Structure 1
Amino acid sequence: MKHLYLFLAIAGAIVPYVFFIEFITAHGFNLGLFIPALFANGAAGGFSTDLLISSLVFWLFMFSDKQADRPKPYWFIVINLSIGLSCALPAYLYFKIRNQQTAAAVQGIP
C-alpha cells in the first residue's frame, strides 16, 4: 500500500495542476476570479464544498492522531493548501506507513 499512496500523492499533485495551469494561463493569478469560479454553478459548488469539508476532516484527523510514528501535520497542511487534498492525504498516509515500518525495523519487528 505504501507505494500506491506514493503514486497517488504524485498523481494528486500533477492532475489538479493541469486544470490550475489552464486557469492561470487564461486569467493569471487572479484570486478575485478564482474563488467565484469554485462556486460558479451547483456542480462546482458541491465539489468545492465537499473538498473543503474533507480537508477540514483531514486536518482534524492529523491533529487527533497521537501515535508516536505519525508524521507532523504542518507540512501536509501546506501541501493541502498549495496543491490539494488529492496530494496531501495520500502523502500523509505514505509517510505514516513509512514511519511505522521504520519504527518496526528499529525494534526488530518483522
Structure 2
Amino acid sequence: MKIKNIYFLLFIIGVVVPYYEFISFIFENGFDFKLLFDQLIATRISRFFAYDIIISAVVLLVFILNEKTGVKNYWVPILATFTIGISAGLPLFLYQRELKK
C-alpha cells in the first residue's frame, strides 16, 4: 500500500472514531457544551489529554503554515484540525503533501 493511501485511511479513521464519541455524547446529553467542557477538564488525566491535544494542534498549524509550499488547499487540513481534530488534520495534510510529489 502506498503511503498516500495510508495517510488517507488514517484521515478517515481520524474523522470517524472521534466523531463517533462526540455524536454519542450529543445523543446522550444534547448540545450541553458546558457539560462537555466540565467533563473535559474534570480530572487531571483528562486535562493532560486536553492540553496535549491543544498543544499538538498548535504545533500542527505552525507546521502546515511552514510547509504549505506547493500544497493546494493547505487551509483544508487547518479547517479539519479546528472542526474535527488533529487526528484528521495531520493525516490530511500529509496526504495532500504526498499528492504533490
Q: Same fold (TM over 0.5)?
A: yes
Unaligned runs of 5+ in 1: 101-110
| Matched pairs, number | 99
Distance 1:3 1:38 in 2: 33
Q: Which has the larger radius of gyration?
A: 1
In the alignment, what sits opposite 2:39? 37
Unaligned runs of 5+ in 2: none
Q: 1:57 to 1:71 in 2, by over 3 A?
A: farther
Taking only aligned residues, the RMSD between alpha carbons, in angstroms, comes to 1.3
Show structure 1 runs of 4+ deviating over 3 A.
none
Q: 1:66 to 1:17 in 2, by over 3 A?
A: closer
Q: Is contact 1:71-1:92 (8 Å) kept? A: no
1:52 CA drift (Å): 0.1
2:67 pairs with 1:62: no
In the alignment, what sits opposite 1:21? 23
Q: TM-score, normalised on structure 1?
A: 0.83
Distance 2:37 2:75 in 1: 24
Distance 1:25 1:46 in 2: 26
Identical columns (%):
32
